[in-house]
Amino acid sequence: MQIGIFSVGDVTMDPTTGRTPTEQERIKATVAIAKKAEEVGLDVFATGEHHNPPFISSNPTATLAYIGAQTERIVLSTATTLITTTDPVLIAEDYAKIQHLTDGRVDLMMGRGNTGPVYPWFGKDIRQGINLAIENYALLHRLWREDVVDWSGRFRTPLQGYTSTPRPLDGVPPFVWHGSIRSPEIAEQAAYYGDGFFHNHIFWPASHTQQMVDLYRRRFEHYGHGPADTAIVGLGGQFFMRPNSQDAVREFRPYFDNAPVYGHGPSLEDFTEATPLTVGSPQQVLERTLSFRDYVGHYQRQLFLIDHAGLPLKTVLEQLDLLGEILPAMRQGFAEGRPAHVPDAPTHGSLVAAAGGGKDATVYAAADSATGHRAEDVLA
């Protein structure tokens, strides 16, 4: 079971001070949070992708590469990579490069995002969102598995004899999750490829999450990837905790009440009852998190959103310290009753082992098609 955090990179005013961080402060804070996550023993740090204010999470590959250079163990991921508006050729190159730079400590989560205007900014039609997600991922899947690709589709220029470089590390592509809140087509896509399915699990009730995960599990088995309970499932979640639950509620309330996403709507009490948001003591967060298995079964990845709504960096780091304190108990709780046939979360190491070992996937080209000369001949 992998336990970690994800960030959407919002730049939001702290309602208790009236101060809004600068973009540079928020970018630097993201790096500090990722490093702290590794320090307290978490397994995964994921960053979102947005291309508009009030977010700083554009160009997630640069962020992940920078974090990767300053960490040693933590898996780096996305939440999410916009497969609809990002060229799959670029995704193939960028994430394979990060694979090599971090010795395989990267996977990624595909998604459509929740910002409608991003589509025309990148020359796409939002009405084709699902079709873009399906076609672009079909191409990405081939680019990582075939050395030479001939391809044509509806939404980009054709490829003829194209080789994506660098090739995936050890000949094994990064593991892919497909993230969604409400689109059954994305759960179907994840099941078709035998990839992971990550449900946002932030704003919706448990019954909705259960329906989406159940659909994915059934279709995973339908496509012949194994029994439904061996499908690879991830969940989001969010919490705010203090040693005393009353202190947690009192401190978090102004952030909740003024949050751009869910502020000025349901009360904090109503929202925590209806969704997975937990505000309370570490024991309450632990018990609530372990209860997620009651409606999705045993799963592989749990990521928490903790650095949003204007919370200052100091507070976020304190939240990570508290999560680190209950982490052993959380791991033990997730392990209890877990059937032996339920797989662990995929890692680069496990994928290489499943492939029968790593290989040098480098494509050694005889000559550059533009100059007609090999680089080594020019140097000689």
pLDDT, position 158? 95
Q: Flag whether pLDDT at 113 surpasses 80.
A: no
Tokens at 111, concatenated: 């998604």
Q: Flag whether pLDDT at 35 surpasses 70.
A: yes
pLDDT, position 371? 56
* Nearest-angstrom CA–CA distance, 49 and 9: 8
| Averaged pLDDT of the chain | 93
At position 365, the amino acid (one-letter code) is A
Q: Flag whether pLDDT at 26 surpasses 60.
A: yes
Element (H, E) at 128: none
Which positions ≥6 away from 193 have C-beta within 8 Å? 137, 141, 176
* Nearest-angstrom CA–CA distance, 51 and 265: 26
**Candidate from 147-151, 244-248, 317-321, 366-370 with smallest mean pLDDT:** 366-370
pLDDT, position 293? 97
How large is the average pLDDT for residues 255-263?
85
How large is the average pLDDT for residues 83-96?
94
Residue (of 213, 176, 212) closest to 195 by Cα position: 176
Range list of H helices, 259-312: 268-274, 282-290, 293-296
How large is the average pLDDT for residues 352-366?
92
Q: What share of the chain in percent tops pLDDT 70?
A: 96
How large is the average pLDDT for residues 8-25?
95
Mind listing the domains of the chain with CATH numbers? 2-355 (3.20.20.30)
Q: What share of the chain in percent tops pLDDT 90?
A: 80
At position 225, the amino acid (one-letter code) is H
pLDDT, position 114? 65
Q: Flag whether pLDDT at 376 surpasses 90.
A: no
Tokens at 175, concatenated: 């593991």
State the CB neighbour count (10 A cutoff) for residue 88: 26
How large is the average pLDDT for residues 195-213?
93
Q: Flag whether pLDDT at 366 surpasses 80.
A: no
pLDDT band at 380 (very low <50, low <70, confident <90, very high): low
How large is the average pLDDT for residues 263-283?
93
**Cβ-contact 180, 174 below 8 angstroms:** no
**Candidate from 157-161, 178-182, 305-309 with smallest mean pLDDT:** 178-182
Q: Flag whether pLDDT at 370 surpasses 70.
A: no
